[in-house]
Amino acid sequence: MRVIGVIPARYNSSRLPGKPIVDICGHPMIWWVYQQASKVKEFSDVLVAADDGRIKAVCDSLSIPVIMTSDKHKTAANRLQEVSETVRADFYVQINGDEPLIDTRAVSAAIPDYVPQDTEFGTNIITEMTNPEQVMDSSNIKVVFDCSMNALYMSRIPIPYPYKSLNFKYYKHVGIIGCNKKMLDFYRDSEPGRFELVEGIDTLRFLDYGKQLKLSIVSGCRCLSVDTEKDLEFVTRIIEGEQ
């Protein structure tokens, strides 16, 4: 099975412009992400999907495989779909371009043993939340699933509601998603669904239309996205401490 790791890289971040190529300990952030992704043994290839020539130039200078994609895409899924038009694979895994410390265990867990090719299919990683503040934070996407680990719903509010019992673990969505080409083509050809429009969660597109999204739990999954200068300073201190 041919599995491709794709790192979407968007230049015009509103809070941290040029985010993929900001310096972290002497290397651009995209280099750190690529190094982590390259450790995933299940990948046949890893590449960057850039939307700006400045990102491509940095990748080229570092011998990081890169493909230019449209700067009109609103989501990473759209960027993956464009990649799938020119790069053949049985499965495509999205790796966040703003997580230089991305957990390789979680990336591997997003890759199933078998990928159906005759129907839309995707995977998503989730991890348990143990801090009540995490559960109440609307930026953490809460996920509920059936007994076969298929996603049922995602929300910014705590679900399910503990009406009759407190004996429940809350799980959050981790931004590592895998899709076959049929799933990516569906996303390109569909409009945002009713709950996606309400919650502002683009992954809900798959559930709004009844597509299969298989979940995997990764315990203690560290998610450190670099969205602001403060985040950048925090991640830089961690990397300095690990070197």
pLDDT in tens, 132-157: 999 999 989 999 999 999 999 999 99
The dihedral over CA atoms of 191, 197, 200, 206, expressed in degrees to the nearest 10, equals: -50
* pLDDT higher than threshold 70 for residue 106: yes
* pLDDT higher than threshold 80 for residue 96: yes
* pLDDT higher than threshold 70 for residue 225: yes
Domains of the chain listed by start with CATH number: 3-233 (3.90.550.10)
DSSP string spanning 131-195? SHHHHH-TTS-EEEE-TT-BEEEEESS-SS--SS-----EEEEEEEEEE-HHHHHHHHHS---HH
Say how many residues make up the chain.
243
* pLDDT higher than threshold 70 for residue 243: no
Please list, residue by residue across 10-22, b when 16 or more beta carbons sit within 10 angstroms of its beta carbon and e when fewer do. bbeeeebeebbbb
